[in-house]
């Protein structure tokens, strides 16, 4: 987001705070939705938030930022229905093309899950944890209750959590998204959603032992991105504490192993999206995040040979000392798992070329040229490198 | 007397303010030399503004929103601040292009950036890249950009042409490409 947009967002945040504060009694009069009452805004202030949320939905629809796949949406909404049978008509989950690990619940019941979040979830129980948490934000009307933590949420939004203004979303709507994101609500609201969401998970028959893992994924991403305090973490329940909270809730649960994890269903359904989201992370230079994710053996297995290839690419592009060896190891692992693509040999060739192993580089580049489509955009680079290698080989022979 | 002081103060303020702001000047025919950095033949009659982001020059004929041709040179440690990518003198031209695209996409937030061409290119006799990209702005207007880039010493040079696809991109891209051919790193 450019500085001008940041200023506009900050300004509109101010307006949002003011307008929310103007709804006197907001915190005292707002009551959560219940199954026996019509699901609609109770006050003028809530009506305004609903209307802003509806505009946000429309803006996202127009922006081309939605990952549209009816089968995947149906899968998500079936889980929502299991978790919130009484609110199934109002809540609707959609997927947002955004590589950052995030999700958000809007005041009108719309729930958005980033592709970057779906990419790292390992099973349906983890996905259900996120949906239960986000759904509770809606049921408890946290957006209407939100006050004091808006500024911290803005920090998250502008630090790359959402950055929706860049996606063609007007800044005031991006602000709404910032306060509605997975880490955007106040400490109390987040804890309440964690606890109530946990009960929903249990009731729907999911293995609650998977819940803490969702926050471990977030910790890994935050650490890899080297996101530092202070910002929302300074007043927010720290991720580590949320993991501990779930673990303590789990201690009293003795039937966890009898419940649904849904690993195969999840991986089968989201396999393509997960890999596309990882590729998007690579294309945006999130090498450290990918290395943290894919060097975990358990995770790597679930992404198959393409996961190993993307790990190799991440090491190659990060370029720290020792990364060339690690990249080659990952490429070989991808090859042994049956991957035989032009991209794999291009990666191997570039590593060898930079390391001065010109014979091995030539071998890999020749292999690349055999497999590459003639319209492959990278062809011109590889042909130049190969020409230089051949010249060098001739000179060495002479 | 009081009035005179006030007028003098206002005039002094205007003078200082106008000195601080970079100004547009018309491009004359011939070679433009950016002392100690580069030389290039810019399109004659366009307007130029120097020291953009303290690193280069911007030229345009109808205004930067309608077409801009920028030349930048940045140190390795400043070029890719969003992705925090580490570039060295050993970085290959292909890798430099990958880093450039990654930085551009990372800076664009969730705006969808499409890469439509990637080619090896020679810039001032150095191995570099030429990359073509496009995106849609908030109003749905499509913008296109072509960037040439290469490494020189501990700096990254980029030459970029950016304009709306509607009318403006094609109108001046030929002049941009002609200028790039005359670009020399000093």
Measure the CA–CA gap between A175 and A8, rounded to whole angstroms: 10
Nearest-Å Rg of the Cα atoms of chain A is: 24
DSSP letter (8 states) at residue B54? T
Domain boundaries B23-185, corresponding CATH code: 3.40.1000.10
Q: What does the alpha-carbon distance between residue A161 and residue A179 come to, in Å, rounded to a whole number?
A: 11
CB contact B99 to A (< 8 Å): yes
Per-residue pLDDT, A59: 85
Share of chain B above pLDDT 90, in %: 67
Highest mean pLDDT among A151-165, A203-217, A254-268, A347-361: A347-361
User: What single DSSP character describes residue A165?
Assistant: G
pLDDT of residue A151: 37
Q: Does B125 touch chain A (CB under 8 A)?
A: no
Is B156 a residue whose pLDDT tops 90?
yes
* A129 or B22, which is more confident: A129
CB-based burial label for A106 (10 Å; 0-12, 13-18, 19+): buried
Longest dimension (CA), chain A: 89
Which residue of chain B comes nearest to A170, CA vs CA? Answer: B138
Q: Which pLDDT band, with edges at 50, 70 and 90, does B1 fall under?
A: low
Could you list the beta-strand ranges (E) of A200-280: none
Q: Over range A358-377, report the average pLDDT.
A: 93
Using a CB–CB cutoff of 8 Å, tell me whether A381 touches chain B.
yes
C-alpha of A63 from chain center: 19
Whole-angstrom Cα distance, residue A177 to residue A108? 12
pLDDT tens sequence across B46-69: 999 987 777 789 999 999 999 999
- Residue B94 has its nearest CB partner, among A165, A166, A378, at A378
The CA distance from B143 to the nearest CA of chain A, in Å, is: 13
Q: Which two tokens stand for residue B149?
A: 């880039």
**Which is more confidently placed, A298 or A152?**
A298
CA pair distance A103, A101, nearest whole angstrom: 7
Question: What six digits make up the tokens of A362?
Answer: 């030539």
How is chain B split into domains, by residue range?
Answer: 23-185
How many CB atoms are closer than 10 A to CB A147?
Answer: 13
Q: Rounded mean pLDDT of B146-154? A: 96
Tell me the C-alpha distance between A393 and A191, whole Å: 65
Band (A29; pLDDT cuts 50, 70, 90): low
- Residue A250: pLDDT over 60: yes
Q: What is the mean pLDDT of residues A111-122?
A: 94
Domains observed in chain A:
3-258 (no CATH), 278-397 (1.25.40.10)
Mean pLDDT score, B36-53: 89
Cα(A203)–Cα(A86) distance, integer angstroms: 13
**Residue A150 scores a pLDDT above 90:** no
What is the structure's pLDDT at B23? 85
Tell me how many helices (H) and strands (E) chain A has: 19, 3
Average pLDDT over residues B151-160: 95
Q: What is the pLDDT of residue A242?
A: 84
Of the ranges A30-44, A278-292, A364-378, which one carries the lowest mean pLDDT score?
A30-44
Cα–Cα distance, B11 to B117 (Å, whole number):
52
For every residue of B56-77, DSSP letters joined together read EEEEESS-TTT-EEEEEEEEHH
- Do B112 and A65 form a contact (C-beta atoms < 8 A)? yes
pLDDT of B173 higher than 50 = yes
Q: Cα separations (Å) of A242 from A211, A212, A219, A247, A299?
A: 10, 7, 11, 9, 22
* Weakest-pLDDT range from A117-131, A143-157, A219-233, B57-71: A143-157
Whether residue A14 has pLDDT greater than 60: no
A360: Cβ contacts below 8 Å, ≥ 6 apart: A348, A352
Confidence check: pLDDT of B21 > 70: no
CB pairs under 8 A between A and B: 90
ipTM summary value: 0.85
Q: What integer pLDDT is reported at residue A163 of this predicted model? A: 43
What average pLDDT does the segment B66-91 reach?
92
The sheet carrying A103-105 orders its strands as A92-96, A110-114, A103-105
Write out pLDDT tens, residues A117-134.
999 999 999 999 999 999
Q: Does B102 touch chain A (CB under 8 A)?
A: yes
Distance (Å) from the alpha carbon of A356 to chain B's nearest alpha carbon: 11
Whole-number mean pLDDT of chain B? 88
**B59 contacts B69 by C-beta, under 8 angstroms:** yes
Residues of A within 8 A of B103 (CB-CB) are: 285
What is the overall mean pLDDT for chain A? 81
Helix H or strand E segment including A299: helix A297-318
In this prediction the pTM is 0.81
Task: Judge whether residue B94 has pLDDT over 80.
Answer: yes
Q: What does the alpha-carbon distance between residue A96 and residue A112 come to, in Å, rounded to a whole number?
A: 6
Q: What is the DSSP string of A24-35?
A: TTHHHH-----T
**H/E element, B173:** helix B168-181
User: Is the separation of the CB atoms in A328 and A261 below 8 Å?
Assistant: no
In this structure, what is the dihedral angle of CA atoms A291, A297, A299, A303, given to the nearest 10 degrees?
Answer: 90
Q: Which of A301 and A87 is assigned the larger pLDDT?
A: A87
| A186 pLDDT more than 90 | no
Residues 51-70 of A with CB under 8 A from B: 62, 64-65
- Rounded to an integer, what distance in angstroms lies between the CA atom of residue B100 and that of residue B102? 5
Question: What is the per-residue pLDDT for B119?
Answer: 95
Quote the pLDDT of residue A181: 61
CA A359, CA A122: separation in Å to the nearest integer? Answer: 41
| DSSP-derived secondary structure letter, A168 | T
Residue A357 has pLDDT above 90, yes or no: yes
Whole-number Å distance between alpha carbons of B86 and A286:
13
């Amino acid at each position: 987001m450019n500085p001008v947009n940041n200023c506009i967002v900050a300004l509109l945040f101010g307006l949002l705070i003011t307008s929310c504060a103007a709804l006197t009694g907001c915190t005292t009069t707002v009551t959560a939705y219940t199954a026996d009452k019509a699901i609609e805004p109770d006050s003028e202030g809530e009506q305004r938030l609903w209307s802003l949320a509806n505009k946000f939905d429309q803006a996202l629809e127009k922006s081309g930022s939605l990952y549209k796949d009816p089968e995947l949406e149906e899968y998500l909404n079936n889980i929502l229905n299991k978790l919130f049978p009484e609110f199934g008509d109002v809540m609707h989950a959609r997927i947002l093309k955004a590589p950052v690990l995030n999700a958000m619940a809007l005041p009108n019941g719309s729930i958005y899950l980033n592709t970057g979040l779906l990419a790292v979830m390992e099973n349906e129980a983890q996905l259900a944890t996120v949906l239960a948490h986000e759904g509770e934000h809606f049921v408890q009307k946290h957006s209407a209750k939100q006050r004091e933590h808006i500024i911290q949420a803005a920090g998250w939004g502008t630090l790359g959590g959402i950055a929706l203004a860049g996606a063609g979303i007007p800044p005031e709507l991006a602000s709404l998204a910032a306060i509605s994101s997975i880490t955007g609500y106040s400490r109390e609201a987040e804890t309440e959603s964690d606890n109530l969401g946990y009960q929903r998970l249990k009731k729907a028959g999911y293995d609650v032992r998977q819940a803490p893992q969702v926050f471990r994924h977030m910790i890994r991403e935050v650490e890899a991105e080297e996101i530092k305090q202070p910002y929302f973490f300074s007043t927010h329940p720290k991720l580590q504490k949320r993991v501990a909270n779930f673990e303590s809730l789990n201690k009293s649960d003795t039937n966890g192993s009898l419940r649904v994890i849904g690993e195969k269903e999840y991986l089968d359904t989201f396999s393509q999206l997960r890999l596309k989201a990882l590729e998007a992370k690579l294309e945006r230079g999130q090498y450290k995040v990918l290395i943290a994710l894919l060097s975990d053996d358990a995770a790597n297995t679930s992404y198959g040979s393409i996961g190993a290839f993307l790990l190799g690419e991440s090491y190659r592009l990060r370029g720290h000392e020792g990364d060339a060896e690690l990249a080659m190891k990952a490429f070989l692992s991808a090859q042994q798992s049956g991957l035989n693509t032009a991209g794999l040999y291009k990666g191997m060739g570039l590593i060898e070329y930079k390391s001065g192993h010109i014979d091995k580089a030539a071998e890999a580049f020749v292999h690349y040229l055999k497999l590459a489509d003639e319209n492959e955009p990278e062809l011109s680079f590889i042909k130049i490198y190969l020409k230089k290698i051949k010249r060098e080989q001739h000179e060495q022979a002479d | 007397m009081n009035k005179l002081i006030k007028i003098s103060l206002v005039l002094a303020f205007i003078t200082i303010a106008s000195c601080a702001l970079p100004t547009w000047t018309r491009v004359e025919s011939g070679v433009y030399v950016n002392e100690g950095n580069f030389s290039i033949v810019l399109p004659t009659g366009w307007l130029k503004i120097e020291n953009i982001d303290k690193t280069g020059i911007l030229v345009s004929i109808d205004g930067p929103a309608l077409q801009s041709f920028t030349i930048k040179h940045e140190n390795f440690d400043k070029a890719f601040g969003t992705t925090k990518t580490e570039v060295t003198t050993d970085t290959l031209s292909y890798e430099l292009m990958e880093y450039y695209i990654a930085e551009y996409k990372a800076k664009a937030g969730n705006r969808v950036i499409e890469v439509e061409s990637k080619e090896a290119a020679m810039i001032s006799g150095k191995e570099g890249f030429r990359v073509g990209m496009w995106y849609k702005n908030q109003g749905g207007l499509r913008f296109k950009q072509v960037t040439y880039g290469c490494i020189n010493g501990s700096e990254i040079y980029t030459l970029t042409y950016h304009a709306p696809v509607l009318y403006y991109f094609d109108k001046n891209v030929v002049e941009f490409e002609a200028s790039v051919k005359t670009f020399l790193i000093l």
